[in-house]
Structure 1
Amino acid sequence: MEALSGTLLVGRSFEPMRGRVVVEDGQIERIEETETTSTDIILPAFVNAHTHLGDSVAKEAAIGLSLDKAVAPPDSLKHRRLAAADRSDLVSAMRRTLRFIERTGTVSCLDFRESGTAGARALHEAAASVSLDPFIFGSGKKSVLDVADGYGASGANDGDFTEQRAACRKRDVPFAIHAGEPDATDIHPALDLEPDLLVHMVHAEQDHLQRVTEQSVPVAVCPRANTVLDVGTPPVRELLDHTTVALGTDNVMLNPPSMFREMAYTVKQFDVTAREVLRMATTAGAEIVGLDCGVIAPGRRAALLVLNGDSDNLTGSVDPVQAVVRRATELDVKRVLV
């Protein structure tokens, strides 16, 4: 049994509470409100709702390129680099990125893994030596579901994914798909597949939002990557008003997979509150794929992030939620309990 004391950001509302969280056998046993001298800030560990870890072999290689030239299948720079990468180098690069993700407070990432079954197996190998367990959305043929946790489609304009969607239903695993990143033409076709997750939705319009609500489809947004690729800005406020929205960092080749950077950028660029952004970075991603984390509550998995509230950066902060979302960095991380 272990107890972590300080300012706890409890429940789905992240209401600050002075006290301690008691952990036993990997679960939150109880939460106690009590006086404490600890200046630590304790919150749920992050869930990064959209990554491409394979890009770790080509960091910064696509700077200045358009979406099509940088990451679009099948002939973009990313896909050429992935095809040319030695498997051991790819596994090593993904493992190092996973270590960075883990050290900076993330308990899981929902990864779109290219290269079919071989790609999914490579990510499993990369994750074998870290505590973080990525949720793998595989690609290619439906047989990838033998080794992946779900299916991740590149986009409805890139091919027919009907067979893969049916396979996901049969196995009761999630089907996710990119939509509305370069333009709006693939959003309705993506929704026709009745996905469990849409990614990006930069160009979502009112009729798309209506369908998202009717179909109860959550959305993962990646604002920094959208900015780098110059495809526009997602309507985050409107999306939040219509469905569950989670936060992702997208391609490692474009941005470091830092949820701190993604949160700070999102809260300052969009009409959203700090609490909404923190929920996007924790609870939302966990709930989308059924992970037992993302919230501090009794009976839940003890996936926790401890920040040093007395760090040179955070000391003097008057609102711990605002401090976490707007100000905190990797240097403030005191401990990650996963």
Structure 2
Amino acid sequence: MRELAGTVLVGESFEPVRGRVVVEDGRIDAVEETDTDSTDLVRPAFVNAHTHRGDSVAKEAAVGLSLGEAVAPPDSLKHRRLAAADRDELVSAMGRTLRFMRRTGTVSTLDFRESGPAGARALREAAAETGVDPFIFGSGDPSVLDVADGYGASGANDDEFAAERAACEDRGRPFAIHAGEPDATDIHPALDYDPDLLVHMVHAEPDHLERVADQSVPIAVCPRANAVLDVGTPPIRELLDHTTVALGTDNAMLNQPSMFREMATAAKRFDVTDREVLRMATAAGAEIADLDCGAIEPGRRAALLVLDGDSDNLSGSEDPVRAVVRRATGLDVERVVG
């Protein structure tokens, strides 16, 4: 048994409670209000809702390129670099990125992994000793579901994915697809697949949002990557008004996978509350992948992030939720649990 004391952000409302979290056998046994001298901030660890960890072999290589030049299949810089990468180099690069993610508070990542079954296996190997559990959306033909947790499609304008969608249905696995990143033309075709997750939705319009709500499709948004690729700004407020929205960092090639940076960007640039942003970075991603984490509640997996509330950066913050969303950085992390 272990105890984590300080200001605890409890439940999916992240209510600040002075007290402690009791952890036993990797699960939250109790959340107790009690006197404590600890200045720590105890909050749920991050679930990064959209990544491409394979792109760790080409960090910053796509700066200044358009979306098509940078990442579009099959001939973009991304795909050329992935094809040229030695497997050991790829595994090492992904592992280093995952270790960075763990040190900065991420315990799980919903990753679109290219290169079929071999790509999924490489990510499993890379993650083995990092403390980050990847939920892998595989690629290629339906056989990738033998090793992946679901299927991740590049986009409805890129190819036909009926067989892959059917295979996910047969196996009870989630089907995810990029949509509305360069423009709106692939959104309705993506929704025709009845996906379990849409990624980006930068160009979502009212009729798309109505379908999203009717079909109860969650969305992962990646505002920093959208800015780097100059594809537009996701309508996060409107998306939140229609469905579950989670936060992701997208390509390691474009941005470091810092959920602190992603939260601060979302909180400061969009019409959202700090609690909404914190939920997007934790409970929402966990809900999408059916992970038993993302909130501090008895019975849940103890996936926790402890911040030094008396750090030079956080000391004097008047609102703990605002502080962890807008101000905290990886330098404030004391430990990651779970």
TM-score category, normalised to shorter length: over 0.9
Match of 1:26 in 2: 26
TM-superposition CA deviations, 1:290-330 (whole Å, max 9, x none): 00000000000000000000000000000000000000000
In structure 2, the partner of 1:319 is 319
Which residue of structure 2 lines up, in the alignment, with residue 289 of structure 1?
289
Report the 3-state secondary structure (helix = DSSP H, G, I; strand = E; otherwise coil) of the residue aligned with 1:117.
helix
SS in 2 for 1:102: helix
Q: What is the Cα deviation at residue 29 of structure 1?
A: 0.2
Residue by residue, what CA displacement relative to the aligned partner does 1:151-204 show, whole Å, maximum 9, x if unpaired? 000000011100000100111010000000000000000000000000000000
Q: 2-side partners of 1:259 and 1:8: how far apart?
A: 19
2:185 counterpart residue number: 185
For residue 266 of structure 1, report the CA deviation from its aligned partner. 0.6
What amino acid is aligned across from residue 109 of structure 2 in structure 1? C
Cα offset for 1:274? 0.4
Deviation, 1:96, is: 0.3
What is aligned with 2:242?
242
How far did residue 240 of structure 1 move? Answer: 0.2
Determine the C-alpha separation between the residues in 1 that align with 2:128 and 2:36: 38
Give yes or no for the alignment of 1:257 onto 2:257.
yes
SS at match of 1:157: coil
Structure 2 segments unaligned to the other structure (5+ residues): none
TM norm structure 1: 1.00
Partner of 2:167: 167
Does residue 81 of the first structure (1) align with residue 109 of the second (2)?
no
Aligned to 2:13: 13
**Map of 1:209 onto structure 2:** 209
Counterpart in 1 of 2:103?
103
Unaligned runs of 5+ in 1: none
CA distance in 1, matches of 2:59, 2:130: 21
- The aligned counterpart of 1:92 is 92
Pairwise mapping of residues 43-58 of structure 1 onto structure 2 (< 5 A)? 43-58=43-58
Aligned equivalents of 1:129 and 1:11: distance in 2? 29
CA displacement at 1:130 relative to structure 2: 1.7
Q: Which amino acid aligns with 1:307?
A: L
State how far apart, in whole Å, the 2-side matches of 1:70 and 1:99 are.
Answer: 25
**Structure 2 residue aligned with 1:156:** 156
**2:309 matched residue in structure 1:** 309
Partner of 2:123: 123
One-letter identity of the residue aligned with 1:126: A
In the alignment, the residues of structure 1 paired with residue 268 and residue 72 of structure 2 have an alpha-carbon distance, to the nearest angstrom, of: 29
**Which whole-Å CA distance do the structure 2 matches of 1:29 and 1:132 have between them?**
22
Query: What is the CA RMSD across the aligned residues, in angstroms?
Result: 0.4
Paired with 2:271 and 2:264, the residues of 1 have a C-alpha distance of: 13
CA–CA distance in structure 2, aligned partners of residues 121 and 36 of structure 1: 45
The CA distance in 2 between the partners of 1:66 and 1:40, in whole Å, is 43
* Fraction of identical pairs, as percent: 79
Count of residue pairs the alignment pairs up: 338
Per-residue deviation, 1:38:
0.2
Kindly state the Cα deviation for residue 132 of structure 1 after the two structures are TM-superposed: 1.2
- Aligned position for 1:134: 134
What letter is aligned with 1:123?
Answer: L
Post-superposition offset of 1:128: 1.2
Which whole-Å CA distance do the structure 2 matches of 1:40 and 1:146 have between them?
A: 42
Separation of aligned partners in 1, 2:192 and 2:273: 32
Q: Provide, for residues 233-257 of structure 1, a one-character-per-residue CA deviation record: whole Å limited to 9, x for no partner.
A: 0000000000000000000000000
Residues in 2 aligned to 1:312 and 1:273: alpha-carbon distance in whole angstroms: 25
1:126, 1:239 → 2: CA distance?
A: 33
> 1:95-144, CA deviations, whole angstroms, 9 ceiling, x for partnerless residues?
00000001100010000000111100110110111221100000000000
The alignment partner of 1:275 has SS state of helix
- 1:182 aligned partner, one-letter code: P
Distance 2:38 2:10 in 1: 16
Deviations 1:33-84 (CA, angstroms, capped at 9, x unpaired): 0010000000000000000000000000000000000011100000000000
